Structure 1
Amino acid sequence: MTPAKDPWMLEQLSQLPGVRYCLVITSDGLVETHTDEIDRDRADPVAAACSALLAGASAVEEVAGFEGSFQQNFSQWSDGFLFVRRAGDHTCLAVATDADINAGLIAHAMAERIKQIGESTLSTPARA
């Protein structure tokens, strides 16, 4: 893990009202870093599930006629949300929240944090 992928980069997001935890994951489902609110045993299956969401979005991309790159996925449950946003090449930022949040604020804060850190810093090399 590079210094840029240490948990400090997620602190701003994790302090937003209603945020449960944050993860930086590779597109193939590996955890790069996570906040203290989620332990590694729980972070690993969340990362794998987020990878599956990304794979599903990619499968729909061509059929639906989209030509641009994936940007974000937003899933809702009765008691919370999961935001998954592209953070760089082969890397995504995932944020789980409570139900009583401002979704626009969370999505905007994620985009701003990625911009501050830099997509090139967050990118993960493709695996052979």
Structure 2
Amino acid sequence: MTPETRGLVWLLDALKDKVRGVRHVLVLSRDGLRISHTHELDDDRADQLAALASGVQSLSLSASAEFGDGGGVAAGRSMVEFHGGVLLIIPAGQGAHLAVVTEPNTDVGLAGRRMEELARQIRGELYAAPRRPEHDARA
């Protein structure tokens, strides 16, 4: 976590505290890099969750292109229910997403509303630029 993203932690922790059953909150770049996360996640688990959430968003975008109207430039909201919890993902700024892991009995409607509120708060301040390949030094 960089000094710039440490300021997000208290906002992420506040979301976790507002909704009973939220276990983890993470901000990630579109390409799957963690930007900031709640304290319960160590860096390795945050990296794992960021990669997983990025993959889900990528699948959502592909499904939209193939089976939807294909009009979405960026993936919208995604929800994955699994044994023992739910993963919710929404856009949170240009090139960034907000992911939340909840317990199975959590009110996902309330969690989603709180996520949207947080995304609006951080959207203007958060920008995850796409990575560009470095130029070949031999060229």
Q: TM-score, normalised by structure 1?
A: 0.90
- Which residue of structure 2 lines up, in the alignment, with residue 42 of structure 1? 45
Cα deviation code 1:65-93 (max 9, x no counterpart) = 13134221001013210001110111000
- Which residue of structure 2 lines up, in the alignment, with residue 13 of structure 1? 15
- Which residue of structure 2 lines up, in the alignment, with residue 67 of structure 1? 71
Structure 1 residues 5 and 28: alpha-carbon distance in aligned structure 2, compared to 1, 3 A threshold: farther
Q: TM-score, normalised by structure 2?
A: 0.84
Sequence identity (%): 31
Contact 1:10–1:34 under 8 Å retained in 2: yes
Q: Secondary structure of 1:88's match?
A: coil
- Which residue of structure 2 lines up, in the alignment, with residue 82 of structure 1? 87
Q: Secondary structure of 2:70's match?
A: coil
Q: Secondary structure of 1:121's match?
A: coil
The runs of 5 or more residues in structure 2 that have no matched partner are: 133-139
Contact 1:5–1:122 under 8 Å retained in 2: no
- Alignment coverage as a number of residue pairs: 127
Contact 1:4–1:122 under 8 Å retained in 2: no
The letter of the residue matching 1:31 is R
CA shift at 1:4, angstroms?
Answer: 7.1
- Which residue of structure 1 lines up, in the alignment, with residue 27 of structure 2? 24
Cα-Cα RMSD:
1.5
Which protein shows a greater Rg? 2
